């Protein structure tokens, strides 16, 4: 059976939710091989074994300092030795940078922002603001594919992977830029926007008051997003902007409150599984996209919805 390598995202000894999803994608294609770039991989290997991983390749190094250039070099060397059918990487900014560098190094084709990859390595992408679905395949070299978070439910399948250490050589060129300090973002207890299963976003309709949006998000354990109108006005940080020039999210549930549904906003959330719109304008374009809509004032609707959810949980 052909093997599929995937790069494991991890931080502070914990694998990301996306790592479990990549493991599930890899398992769907062939033998799943996790690559862990860490000098202290024991805890990470234990977590990976919950997702049916067949093999773990670890590579030690000064990974807290190395940039994505070093990660691409390590992956290229492992790829050369393993000769996998494909390499899967998370579609984060860093993941896409590593994938691009790896594609150049290995003279391979690359597909980014896929939402699925099947047994024949045909990928699915949702493009042009979600209006078009594209199926494509790499025809040169080893397919390098980046997959969006939340595109698949990670399947729990306990396994006992074989573990081996790979001695990578990082060139001086790859060490030219290094990370001198990294300060984790203050999360405030909410899930990371691109990984959350539920996202509640607010737009210009909030008029700058995000409290009802945040309260509703917290009742659901959701992340908070925002339209560009809201972030440009300084009502919410740009890091929470969803859309063409913001983040792409694909949660199980996306709630858009006081957001009209401009094409640039849709580009970042259209692949969400269920979309709920709260808008006082029955003609707002977001309503055409929504699975469910509440036509009303978000300052009435959201507090009532929050109260109902909190009461149901009690």
Q: Count the residues of the shown chain that bind ligand FAD, applying the rule CB under 6 A.
A: 28
Contact between 138 and ligand FAD by CB under 6 A: the answer reads no
Among 50, 97, 280, 303, the residue binding ligand FAD under the rule CB under 6 A is: 280
Site string for ligand FAD, 237-276 (x = CB under 6 A): ----xxxxxx-----------xxx-x-xx--x--------
Place of tokens 């590579």: 59
CB-based contact 33:84 (threshold 8 Å): yes
CB of 226 to ligand FAD, least distance (A): 8
Question: Token pair for residue 162?
Answer: 């074989």
> For ligand FAD, which stretch binds (CB under 6 A), given 18-26, 59-67, 131-139, 236-244?
236-244
Burial 130-149 (b: 16+ CB within 10 A, else e): beeeeeeebeeebbbbbbbb
CA 54/CA 97 separation, integer angstroms: 26
Q: Distance of alpha carbon 68 from its chain centroid, rounded?
A: 17
Among 84, 203, 212, 251, the residue binding ligand FAD under the rule CB under 6 A is: 203
CA 11/CA 211 separation, integer angstroms: 30
CB of 308 to ligand FAD, least distance (A): 18
Site string for ligand FAD, 290-309 (x = CB under 6 A): -------xxx----------
Provide the Cα torsion 228, 199, 64, 100; round to 10°.
Answer: -70
CB of 189 to ligand FAD, least distance (A): 24
> For ligand FAD, which stretch binds (CB under 6 A), given 120-128, 159-167, 188-196, 198-206?
198-206
Helix (H) or strand (E) holding 229: helix 228-232
CB of 146 to ligand FAD, least distance (A): 19
CA 155/CA 292 separation, integer angstroms: 28
Residues that bind ligand FAD (CB under 6 A): 203-205, 227-230, 241-246, 258-260, 262, 264-265, 268, 278-281, 284, 297-299
């Amino acid at each position: 059976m052909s093997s599929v390598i995937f790069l494991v995202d991890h931080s502070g000894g914990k694998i990301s939710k996306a790592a479990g999803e990549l493991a599930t994608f890899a398992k769907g294609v062939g033998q799943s091989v996790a690559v862990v770039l860490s000098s202290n991989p024991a805890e990470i290997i234990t977590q990976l074994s919950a997702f049916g991983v067949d093999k773990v390749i670890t590579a030690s190094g000064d990974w807290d300092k190395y940039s994505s250039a070093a990660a691409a070099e390590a992956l290229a060397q492992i790829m050369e030795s393993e000769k996998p059918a494909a390499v899967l990487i998370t579609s984060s900014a860093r993941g896409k940078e590593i994938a691009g560098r790896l594609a150049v190094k290995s003279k391979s084709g690359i597909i980014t922002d896929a939402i699925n990859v099947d047994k024949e390595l045909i990928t699915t992408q949702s493009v042009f603001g979600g209006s078009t679905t594209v199926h494509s395949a790499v025809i040169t070299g080893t397919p390098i594919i980046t997959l969006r978070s939340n595109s698949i439910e990670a399947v729990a399948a306990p396994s006992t992977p074989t573990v081996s250490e790979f001695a990578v050589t990082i060139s001086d060129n790859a060490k030219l830029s290094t990370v001198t300090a990294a300060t984790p973002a203050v999360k405030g207890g909410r899930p990371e926007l691109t990984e959350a299963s539920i996202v509640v976003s607010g737009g210009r309709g909030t008029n700058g008051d995000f409290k009802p949006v945040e309260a509703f998000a917290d009742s659901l354990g959701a992340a908070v997003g925002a339209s560009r109108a809201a972030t440009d006005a300084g009502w919410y940080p740009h890091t929470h902007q969803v859309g063409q020039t913001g983040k792409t999210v694909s949660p199980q549930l996306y709630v858009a409150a006081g957001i009209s549904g401009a094409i640039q906003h849709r580009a970042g959330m259209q692949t969400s599984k269920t979309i709920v719109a709260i808008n006082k304008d029955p003609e707002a374009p977001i309503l055409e996209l929504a699975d469910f809509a509440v036509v009303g004032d978000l300052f009435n609707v959201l507090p009532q919805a929050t109260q109902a959810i909190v009461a149901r949980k009690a």
